[in-house]
Structure 1
Amino acid sequence: MTKNIDKKQLTLFALTWPIFIEIFLHMLMGNADTFMLSQYTDDSVAAAGVANQILNLVIVMFGFIATGSVILITQNIGAGKEQAAKDVAIMSVIANLIIGLLVSIVLFAFSKPILQIMNLSPSLLEEGNKYLGIVGTFIFVQALIMTGASILRSYGYTKDTMFVTICMNVLNICGNYLLIFGAFGFPEMGIQGAAVSTVISRVLGLIAVSVLLIKRIPALKSNLAFQWSHLKNLLKIGIPSAGEQLAYNMSQMAITFFIAKIGTEALTTKIYAQNLMMFIFLFSISVSQGTQILIGRMVGAKKYEEAYERCMKSLYLAIGASLFMAVIVSTFSDNLFDLFTNNEEIIQTGGMLILLTILLEPGRAFNLVIIGALRAAGDVKFPVYMGLISMWGISVPVAYLLGVHFGYGLTGIWIAFILDEWTRGIMMYIRWKSRKWVSKGFVEKGKTALQEQTV
């Protein structure tokens, strides 16, 4: 039997600090790739950045299942339905394995045509194809890591996923050093080396996550049947939940297309700036994920007022931390960009982008925390509709108008980001305050099916 989780031990701090470290290390892994490739060539940075945008869009597809599993598992645990929670966990692994394998086949066969859509120069296209071809072929490994990590977090084992991420980072950095630059007699592979290192670290990470799942939740291996009812429920939650992130990633790809028209230097600046920005909204992401687990359990147990207050407290924490970090990173932006490049134009433009981030990040905190809370409560469609309206009605057209048409470049594009984040953030805040999410929980006493969702 799996030991029961003591719900009293699941405080926001206990859940969030391992998530914080885990996400920090994930970001560090991405920055390690960027930093080490920047020591190779700036073109490699730009090519890998565009390839990773495509991979990030693909990873959102895996989020259909992973997000749905977190919501269903936490609400079932909160409602005291532990067997249903385990059945959902099993089904989520099977489903994401199938989806991951299909996506891997597509990326293996069509990596170059996909990159050609992004309007890359011939040199960047060749470099990007090397990276996307290797990492994309094994992207199913990431699908399984995401699913396994989501299950472990849902059961409160956030420290486990943190330790796995630490090991993956160490392996990835060591692999980058050996394979990008050809250290200690290894072949000098450049961007291909970064791709191979990423794949190896993920494969070993998947092995570790699998061992932890069997150890922590042994009943998972007792029933591996394909259950259509659970798949249907996962998709009912997961597709709308991941739809907001899908809309965001697609809008980012469209904007990257605009930036590619401005030039390779602008594209490289954007990648460096966004790598630094990740550390600004790190706290908001970790608070959002910890809050989501708690609110899922509270909603499953019908503790709606506790859920409401938990979200509001988390929101204030995230806004304060984001603003503080944005000011700190902006103050030292020149020194931070110096780590990546000695191109003065990139450093100067990047510093302006980080300064604008002081306005952007509090708005992003609203979205990260409240959207996570709405999903956990079962209100999964509203963020998608608002995301589509704001991202494609504000972010993309304003980015083109200011950045390309009127010639303000990256500064104009960052203004579009600010308008988008604050518009959506205010709408999410109004939605949470309205308490319309109270009627949208997925799990009730004596019921196993999802309630039909309406906005």
Structure 2
Amino acid sequence: MSSNVRYAEGGVKEMIYIAFPMLVSNACETVMVFTDRLFLSRLGSVQMSAAMSGGMSSFMLTVFFIGLIGYSTAMIAQFYGAGKKEMCGTSAFQGIIISVLAYPLILLTRPLIHYMFTKTGMDEAQLYYQRQYFDILIYGSVFFLIRHSLSCFFSGIGKTGVVMFASLGAMVVNVGASWVLIFGHFGLPEMGMRGAAIGTIIGSISSISILVFAYMRKDNVDTYGIKGSFRFDRALTLKLMKFGTPAGFEFLLGFTAFTFIVLIFHAQGLTTATAATIMFNWDHVAFVPLIGVEIGVTSLVGRYIGAGRHDIVHKTVISGLKLGVIYSVIVALLFVFLPYQLTDFFRPDTADPAFEAAVPLTVYMLRLASVYVLVTAQMVVFMGALRGAGDTFWAMVISVSINWSITIATYIIMNTLNFSARAGWTSVVLLFLLFPVLLYVRYKSGRWKEIQPAV
């Protein structure tokens, strides 16, 4: 059941065939977020920090549904591996139905996030831009969910190159639109923060167009039963809910914890907020491509479990570890040896005292993050393996426990004990080391082999 007959089942080449396009695809997502913040940093540190907090808050409202729908990758892969290809299209459409139904629920939570913003104690100037950015993104959230649903279909059947090209298209459109709208080129008014948010939505719509075109190609329609897939399937939806809900809660609670960590740092003043924003921007650059490795592991593990080939699963995991660690070592070396250069990427065009004061803290955080990056590769591979096998409940328990332990510890260290931001960041990195250890213990136990596949 290899993705391509030229590649050994579960080998590194097969992993690269599946994971590399997803790594590129997620790198494109990183470029879109990174360039928006980079463009906004030219307007000042306040706008840059506001884009990070506002963007994370909007993502937090969609992340449960992203995790839930994301399990369709494993489910589709299991159908593919079992030879039930006609069920792949129907499974994907259940994700699209959930996307549309989720949209009004997401909008209803908007006032709660506005209230949360006012309680963080952050600078009023940042709050103004943060609300502006958040509001526009949340109104466009349905496009992101539909795009995610279509991407899961192609990831599940192993055609990750389609997702890559759609992401490349979104990146080109998003970066170009943001540049024009933020700075007001070609006679358009300078929209600043609003332009960055609108550019992001335009990028998502362009990606959906590419994915729909590929989805409706004749070979897909004939092979995966696309024409008959546009219907509600109660049994498939219940399976998606059963296995995807724990993943959704894991994403929601984990990302909420991470958002609170960012807000804890941002509440320490503009200097710490600037340092944390720069560091987390580079952390985003380092982490998001690794999600491509995780998706590759999830897809292949799901495929081999669907085919009844448990013997290939561990080989697939080892291949994922090799690919992830190579990438992480390169990133870690950049963090250790080029922290000043990485910081200067975000230097504003005009003199900014907050930026200058933040440089030493940013350098410290980046260098310490090299440790964090190295263990992240191991975390995503074991997480991908458990999700591909359907062991989403225990993956959720481990993820939520670690993330909220880190959040609580950071709050106590920085707000109750009044230690420095350096001490807070050190605690984050040290506690994060537990993540891959606990996931490995769960994977090594072999309990995932007892779970009945979705097929």
Scaled by the length of structure 1, the TM-score of the pair is: 0.91
Equivalent position of 1:452 in the other structure: none
Equivalent position of 1:358 in the other structure: 370
Q: Which of 272, 275, 282 is residue 269 of structure 1 equivalent to?
A: 275
CA contact 2:335–2:370 (8 Å) conserved in 1: no
What letter corresponds to residue 385 of structure 2 in structure 1? Answer: A
> For the residues of structure 2 that align with 1:333 and 1:377, how far apart are their CA atoms?
39
Equivalent position of 2:22 in the other structure: 19
Q: Secondary structure at the match of 1:188?
A: coil
Q: Secondary structure at the match of 2:226?
A: helix
Q: Which runs of 4+ in 1 moved over 4 A?
A: 4-7
> Could you tell me how far 1:114 is from its partner in structure 2?
4.7
Alignment deviations for residues 148-187 of structure 1 (CA, whole Å, 9 cap, x no partner): 1111111122111111111211111111221111122110
Equivalent position of 1:38 in the other structure: 41
Equivalent position of 2:114 in the other structure: 112
Structure 1: runs of 5 or more not aligned: 449-455
- When structure 1 is superposed on structure 2, of 15-24 and 414-423 the one drifting more is 414-423
Cα distance change on mapping 1:269 and 1:117 into 2, 3 Å: same
> Could you tell me how far 1:331 is from its partner in structure 2?
0.9
> Could you tell me how far 1:31 is from its partner in structure 2?
0.5
Number of corresponding residues:
439
CA contact 2:257–2:407 (8 Å) conserved in 1: yes
Equivalent position of 1:90 in the other structure: 93
Equivalent position of 2:382 in the other structure: 370
> For the residues of structure 1 that align with 2:290 and 2:200, how far apart are their CA atoms?
26
Q: Secondary structure at the match of 1:419?
A: helix
> For the residues of structure 1 that align with 2:99 and 2:17, how far apart are their CA atoms?
28
Cα distance change on mapping 1:21 and 1:327 into 2, 3 Å: same
Structure 1 residues 161-310: aligned runs within 5 Å: 161-215=163-217, 217-218=220-221, 219-282=225-288, 284-310=290-316
Q: Which of 334, 355, 358 is residue 346 of structure 1 equivalent to?
A: 358
> For the residues of structure 2 that align with 1:251 and 1:111, how far apart are their CA atoms?
14
Q: Which of 403, 408, 411 is residue 400 of structure 1 equivalent to?
A: 411
User: Is 2:161 the partner of 1:159?
Assistant: yes
Equivalent position of 1:414 in the other structure: 425
Equivalent position of 1:453 in the other structure: none
Cα distance change on mapping 1:220 and 1:409 into 2, 3 Å: farther
- When structure 1 is superposed on structure 2, of 384-393 and 374-383 the one drifting more is 384-393
- When structure 1 is superposed on structure 2, of 76-85 and 341-350 the one drifting more is 341-350
What fraction of aligned residue pairs are identical, expressed as a percent? 21
Q: Secondary structure at the match of 2:265?
A: helix
> For the residues of structure 2 that align with 1:260 and 1:134, how far apart are their CA atoms?
22
CA contact 2:67–2:247 (8 Å) conserved in 1: yes
What letter corresponds to residue 430 of structure 2 in structure 1? Answer: L
Q: Secondary structure at the match of 2:216?
A: helix
> Could you tell me how far 1:217 is from its partner in structure 2?
2.5
> For the residues of structure 2 that align with 1:187 and 1:266, how far apart are their CA atoms?
32
What letter corresponds to residue 397 of structure 2 in structure 1? Answer: Y
Cα distance change on mapping 1:319 and 1:6 into 2, 3 Å: closer
What letter corresponds to residue 65 of structure 1 in structure 2? Answer: L
> For the residues of structure 1 that align with 2:174 and 2:290, how far apart are their CA atoms?
25
Q: Alignment RMSD, CA only?
A: 2.1
> Could you tell me how far 1:7 is from its partner in structure 2?
5.1
> For the residues of structure 2 that align with 1:304 and 1:97, how far apart are their CA atoms?
36
Q: RCO higher in 1 or 2 (8 Å CA, sep ≥ 6)? A: 2
CA contact 2:413–2:419 (8 Å) conserved in 1: yes
- When structure 1 is superposed on structure 2, of 94-103 and 398-407 the one drifting more is 398-407
Alignment deviations for residues 2-23 of structure 1 (CA, whole Å, 9 cap, x no partner): xx99653671111122112111
Equivalent position of 1:64 in the other structure: 67
Cα distance change on mapping 1:185 and 1:110 into 2, 3 Å: farther
> For the residues of structure 2 that align with 1:316 and 1:435, how far apart are their CA atoms?
21
What letter corresponds to residue 229 of structure 1 in structure 2? Answer: A
CA contact 2:22–2:289 (8 Å) conserved in 1: no
Scaled by the length of structure 2, the TM-score of the pair is: 0.91
Q: Which of 3, 8, 17 is residue 5 of structure 2 equivalent to?
A: 8
Q: Which of 324, 330, 341 is residue 324 of structure 1 equivalent to?
A: 330
User: Is 2:88 the partner of 1:54?
Assistant: no
> For the residues of structure 1 that align with 2:403 and 2:259, how far apart are their CA atoms?
12
Q: Secondary structure at the match of 1:220?
A: coil
Q: Secondary structure at the match of 2:83?
A: coil
> For the residues of structure 2 that align with 1:6 and 1:411, how far apart are their CA atoms?
46
> For the residues of structure 2 that align with 1:351 and 1:336, how far apart are their CA atoms?
9
User: Is 2:134 the partner of 1:137?
Assistant: no
Q: Secondary structure at the match of 2:5?
A: helix
Cα distance change on mapping 1:135 and 1:116 into 2, 3 Å: same
Equivalent position of 2:10 in the other structure: none
What letter corresponds to residue 179 of structure 1 in structure 2? Answer: L
> Could you tell me how far 1:102 is from its partner in structure 2?
3.4
Cα distance change on mapping 1:104 and 1:202 into 2, 3 Å: farther
> Could you tell me how far 1:356 is from its partner in structure 2?
0.6
> Could you tell me how far 1:97 is from its partner in structure 2?
1.8
CA contact 1:298–1:306 (8 Å) conserved in 2: yes
Q: Secondary structure at the match of 2:18?
A: helix
> Could you tell me how far 1:111 is from its partner in structure 2?
5.9
